[in-house]
Amino acid sequence: MAYGPHTPADRQRMLAALRMDSVDDLFADIPVGLRSSPLRLDPPEPEQLLMRRLDGLAAKNRVDLASFLGAGAYRHFSPPLVDQILLRGEWYTAYTPYQPEVSQGTLQSIYEYESLLAELVGLDVVSASHYDGAAATAEAALMTCRATGRGRVLVSRAVHPHYREVLRTYFHGNGLHFEEIPLAAEGSVAGTTDLAELERRLGDAENPVAGVVLAQPNFYGLLEPMRDASDLVHAAGALFVAVVEPVSLAVLAPPGAYGADIAAGEGQALGIPPQYGGPYLGILACTEPLVRQIPGRLVGMTTDVDGRRAYVMTLQAREQHIRREKAASNICTNQTLLALAASVWLAALGPHGLRDVAALGAARAAELEAALASVGVARVHAGAYLNEFAVRVPNAPAVHRELLERGVLAGLVLAEAVPDEPALADALLVCATEMTTGDDVATFAREIGALLADAGAGAGGSAAAAPVGVTA
C-alpha cells in the first residue's frame, strides 16, 4: 500500500494480540444489510504514472496568456523564499495548535499574522483567518446583526457579486434581511455606491440597519467615498463594514482611518497563487469592543509557568467546540497555512516592497488605460481607480473569445459576471499588476485595436457581427 507501513507479519501480530483470524472480524458489527458494494474505482496508480498523467491534465490549462484578469484574484510576484518556507513539513503538516507547548511555531506565526494585518488594516483585532473574502464578508455582516440586535444589512452592489451571493445564502431564511444599494448611474461618481440612496435607506426609523457593507476599491476598481459613507452609517447607529484588497492598503487609506468597525477581504493577493479559486485567505478584523463577536480563532501572547513569553489560542469560549449551538459561527478548520504564506510574503517584500507592488500596478494600469484609449477603447467610468477599471467594448463576449485565441486574457466579461447590471453589458473589467509587462499592454492594445477596426470595416473575424462603432 502506498504509504502504509504494515507488512503481513505486522498484521498477523496485531490480529494475534486480538485473538482474531481475520480483519473482517473487526467489521462484523456492520449489519449485513448495510455492508457496501465493493468500491468501483480504478486500481492504484504508481507515483511515476500519476505524475505523468497529472502533467497531461495541467497542460490542458492555459496559464501562459497575457492576462488582465483580476476581479477578486490577483497575480503578484512571490519571492522563492516564501514557497521554500511553506514546504517545510513542520509548517504544513502541523495540526491545529491545541497543545500550545509543542505548537509555538504555528501560534507565534498566527500572532504575527494578526499583527501584520492589524497594521495594514488599521483595526486592532484580526482573526486567525476565515475561508475566503466572501465568507469573511458574510460573517462580518452577521456580526453587525449580533452586535446591534438589529436584523437589516445594506450591501452595495459595487461589492463583488460572489460576495453578495454568499451573503444571500448565509442570510436566506434566518430572519435576517439584506438589501442591495444600487450604483450611482451618472457623472463622476458613476459606478460607485449611490450615497443618496444609502442615506435614504438608513433613514427608515421603522427598520433600523445593523450594518452597511462597501468595498474599497470596489468590484469595478473604483475608489469609494468611505469616510462619507462611514459617517452616514454611524449617524444611523449602524456598523460600517469595509471590504478591502490588502495590497492596495499599502497606498490607500485603511479601514481604521475612515472609521470602519469591521474589515473583511481576500488575502489571496498577498502572494498566494490563484490555484483556480483556493485555498485562499479570508481576512476578518474589527475594533476592540467587538472582539467577543468575531468568529474564528484568535491567538494571544501570554507567559508560561517559568515566565517565558508564549502564545496560545485564546477567547476560545466564542467558538463552536465550547459554545456549540450558541457559537457565533460553526467555523473550525480555517486557512492557517495561507495566513503564514501571507506573513512570509509581507516579510519578504517589506513595507517598501509592498508599496512598490501597489504603485507599479497603478503605473501599469495607467499605461493600459492610455494604450486602450489610443485604439478607441475607453473607460466606462470617470472616477479614480488604483489598478483595475472597466472599459467599454462592443460585443464584449465575442471580442473576449477572439482575444483569447490571439493570446490575450482580456479581463472579465461583465455581461456574464453581473448580468443584472445592464449598463455594463458591453464592458470588460481589466486589471494590471507589477506582473503585467509593457509588452503585454502593447499586445492587448494592438490586438483589440485590430479586432475593433476589422469589425468597424465589416471585414472577416468573429467580431464582424458587431454593430459598427457602438458604445453605450
Enumerate residues 333-352 that contact another protein by CB under 8 A.
Answer: 333-338, 340, 343-344, 346-352
Binding-site member from 126, 159, 290, 342 for another protein (CB under 8 A)? 126
Which residues within the stretch 10-39 sit at the binding site for another protein (CB under 8 A)? 10-11, 13-15, 17-18, 23, 25-31, 33-39
Which residues within the stretch 356-395 sit at the binding site for another protein (CB under 8 A)? 356-357, 359-360, 362-363, 366, 384, 386
Angle at 93 between CA 91 and CA 97, to 5 degrees: 70
| Cβ–Cβ < 8 Å for 159, 71 | no
Would you say 337 or 380 has its CB closer to another protein? 337
Helix, strand, or coil here: 80?
Answer: helix
Asked if 316 is part of the footprint of another protein (rule: CB under 8 A), the reply reads yes
Helix, strand, or coil here: 79?
Answer: coil
Asked if 124 is part of the footprint of another protein (rule: CB under 8 A), the reply reads yes
Q: Region of 394 please: left (phi>0), alpha (psi -120 to 50) or beta.
A: beta
Which residues within the stretch 402-441 sit at the binding site for another protein (CB under 8 A)? 404, 409, 412, 416-417, 419, 434
Supply the minimum distance, in Å, between the C-beta of residue 378 and another protein. 16
Asked if 237 is part of the footprint of another protein (rule: CB under 8 A), the reply reads no
Task: Give the distance from CA 156 to its chain's centroid.
Answer: 17
**Cα(106)–Cα(118) distance, rounded to whole angstroms?**
18
Supply the minimum distance, in Å, between the C-beta of residue 67 and another protein. 7
The end-to-end CA distance of the chain, in Å, is 63
Asked if 97 is part of the footprint of another protein (rule: CB under 8 A), the reply reads yes
**Cα(357)–Cα(335) distance, rounded to whole angstroms?**
24
- Phi–psi pair at 221, nearest 5 degrees: 85, -5
Asked if 241 is part of the footprint of another protein (rule: CB under 8 A), the reply reads no
Angle at 264 between CA 268 and CA 138, to 5 degrees: 105
Supply the minimum distance, in Å, between the C-beta of residue 466 and another protein. 19
Asked if 119 is part of the footprint of another protein (rule: CB under 8 A), the reply reads yes
Asked if 231 is part of the footprint of another protein (rule: CB under 8 A), the reply reads no
Asked if 292 is part of the footprint of another protein (rule: CB under 8 A), the reply reads yes
Supply the minimum distance, in Å, between the C-beta of residue 341 and another protein. 9
Asked if 175 is part of the footprint of another protein (rule: CB under 8 A), the reply reads yes
Q: Stretches 236-244, 296-304, 446-454, 460-468: which one binds another protein (CB under 8 A)?
A: 296-304
Q: What is the grid cell recorded at 89?
A: 513539513
From the number of C-beta atoms within 10 Å of its C-beta (0-12, 13-18, 19+), residue 115 rates as middle
Which residues within the stretch 446-465 sit at the binding site for another protein (CB under 8 A)? none
| Cβ–Cβ < 8 Å for 313, 299 | yes
Over the window 35 to 64, marking each residue x when it contacts another protein by CB under 8 A and - when it does not, the resulting string is: xxxxxxxxxxx-x--xx-xxxxxxxxxxx-
Asked if 179 is part of the footprint of another protein (rule: CB under 8 A), the reply reads no
Pairing of strands 412-413, 427-431: antiparallel
Supply the minimum distance, in Å, between the C-beta of residue 361 and another protein. 9
Q: What is the grid cell recorded at 329?
A: 459561527
Supply the minimum distance, in Å, between the C-beta of residue 274 and another protein. 5
Task: Give the distance from CA 176 to its chain's centroid.
Answer: 24
**Cα(35)–Cα(193) distance, rounded to whole angstroms?**
58
Would you say 42 or 186 has its CB closer to another protein? 42
Would you say 129 or 395 has its CB closer to another protein? 129
Supply the minimum distance, in Å, between the C-beta of residue 214 and another protein. 13
Binding-site member from 324, 439, 459, 460 for another protein (CB under 8 A)? 324
Over the window 99 to 118, marking each residue x when it contacts another protein by CB under 8 A and - when it does not, the resulting string is: xxxxxxxx-xxxxx-xxx-x
The 8 Å CB, 24+ separation contacts for 102-107 are 104/310, 104/311, 106/336, 106/340, 107/299, 107/310, 107/311, 107/312, 107/313
Q: What is the grid cell recorded at 168?
A: 444571500
Q: Stretches 159-167, 194-202, 206-214, 233-241: which one binds another protein (CB under 8 A)?
A: 159-167
Q: What is the grid cell recorded at 449?
A: 485595436
**Cα(38)–Cα(89) distance, rounded to whole angstroms?**
35
**Cα(426)–Cα(411) distance, rounded to whole angstroms?**
13
Binding-site member from 5, 8, 149, 460 for another protein (CB under 8 A)? 5
Supply the minimum distance, in Å, between the C-beta of residue 194 and another protein. 19
**Cα(459)–Cα(287) distance, rounded to whole angstroms?**
60
* Cell 433600523, located at residue: 208
Binding-site member from 179, 321, 458, 470 for another protein (CB under 8 A)? 321
Over the window 244 to 263, marking each residue x when it contacts another protein by CB under 8 A and - when it does not, the resulting string is: -----xxxxxx--x------
Would you say 148 or 316 has its CB closer to another protein? 316
Binding-site member from 129, 144, 156, 218 for another protein (CB under 8 A)? 129
Binding-site member from 66, 85, 155, 368 for another protein (CB under 8 A)? 85
